[in-house]
Amino acid sequence: MIVTAAELFKVAYGKFAVGAYNINNMEQTHGLFRGAIQSQSPFIIQISRGARKYADKRMLEAMIRAAETIYPEAVFVVHLDHGDEATCYDCIDSGFYSSVMIDASHEPFEKNVEITRRVVERAHAKGVSVEAELGMLGGVEEDVKVEEGHACLTDPDQAKEFVELTGCDSLACAIGTSHGAYKFKGKQSIRFDVLQKIQQRLPGFPLVMHGSSSVPQSEIMRINAAGGKLDPTACGVNENEYLPAAKLGVTKINIDTDGRLIWTRVHREYFRDHPEDFDFRGPGRVFMSEYANFIASRSEKLGSANTLAEVRASILEQRKNKAA
Query: Residue 178 forms beta bridges with which residues?
Result: 138
78 close to 5: Cβ distance less than 8 angstroms: no
Q: State how beta strands 76-83 and 178-179 pair.
A: unpaired
Catalytic-role residue among 81, 103, 169, 256: 81
Residue 262 CA to residue 260 CA, distance in Å, equals 5
DSSP 13-68: TTT--EEEEE--SHHHHHHHHHHHHHHT--EEEEEEHHHIIIIIHHHHHHHHHHHH
Residue 77 CA to residue 1 CA, distance in Å, equals 8
Residue 166 CA to residue 257 CA, distance in Å, equals 30
Query: Residue 129 forms beta bridges with which residues?
Result: 99
Residue 111 CA to residue 200 CA, distance in Å, equals 25
DSSP 191-234: -HHHHHHHHHHSTT--EEE-S-----HHHHHHHHHTT----TT-
* Residue 81 falls in the annotated catalytic set: yes
Residue 117 CA to residue 320 CA, distance in Å, equals 28
DSSP state of 174: -
DSSP state of 239: G
The neighbour count for residue 182, using CB atoms within 10 Å, is 19
Residue 259 CA to residue 232 CA, distance in Å, equals 18
Residue 117 CA to residue 162 CA, distance in Å, equals 10
Active site residues: 81
